[in-house]
A = this chain, B = another copy of it.
Amino acid sequence: MEFSEVIAQRWATKRFEDRPVPDAVIDRLLEMIRLAPSGLNIQPWRIKLVTDPSLKEQLSAAAWDEPQVKSCSHLLVFCADTDYAALVEKLLAGMKANGVPDKVYDIVKGIAAEMAHMPPDAWFAYAQGNVFIAVSYALLGAKDLGLDSCPMTHFQPAEYARILGLPANLVPVMLCPVGYAADAAPPKWRYPKKDLLV
């Protein structure tokens, strides 16, 4: 689909049809999300993919029972990775393995070392922001693939981590239920362009 159509047609779907999305389509979506950019290309995200109805039932209760979680085909739970040291180690190994020039490697290594002095809260905010970029790819990618989705932050992250048995370094920061919309898009409204500029 044309990019301009994708951004015009994407909307936050509240109810999904009871119709599963084929795994092959979800695979294509994951391939799109994978291409999202991140600071230093550090990719501080992980996704828990949930399709099991009983698990969705539990997760729905930890998201104020909004209808998206239970009715969607696939629930993508986007997590921010808080283990900065491990991320940097993996990044530097990944750069070497992918033939990134030494000059670029050295610059990234230097910035990463400088960023290591960030307080944990600042890293979390930064990682979360990067995850939101990956979520943007998911929302737009879903529409491109003929699916609908809904970004959701109105849920209990600690409960999600507990129910899903996530490792301690992964903090759920955004839900992205995906499926076929059962309702129609309301009119899209935004502030006028003049309000965008300062």
Contact = CB atoms under 8 A, between A and B. Distances in A.
Q: How many copies does the complex hold?
A: 2
A31 B141 contact: no
A111 interface: yes
Nearest to A28: B4
A interface residue count range (under 10 / 10 to 19 / 20 to 34 / 35 or more): 35 or more
A180 interface: no
Contacts of A16: none
Contacts of A31: 193
A92 interface: no
Interface string A123-142: 01110111111011101110
A100 interface: yes
Nearest to A95: B189
A198 B46 contact: yes
B132 A197 contact: no
A135 B125 CA distance: 16
Contacts of A132: 129-130, 132-133, 136
A142 B124 CA distance: 28
Contacts of A131: 129
Given A43-B190, A132-B133, 15 more contacts: A2-B2, A4-B32, A4-B144, A7-B137, A27-B193, A30-B196, A31-B193, A33-B196, A39-B154, A41-B190, A94-B191, A98-B187, A101-B186, A129-B174, A133-B136
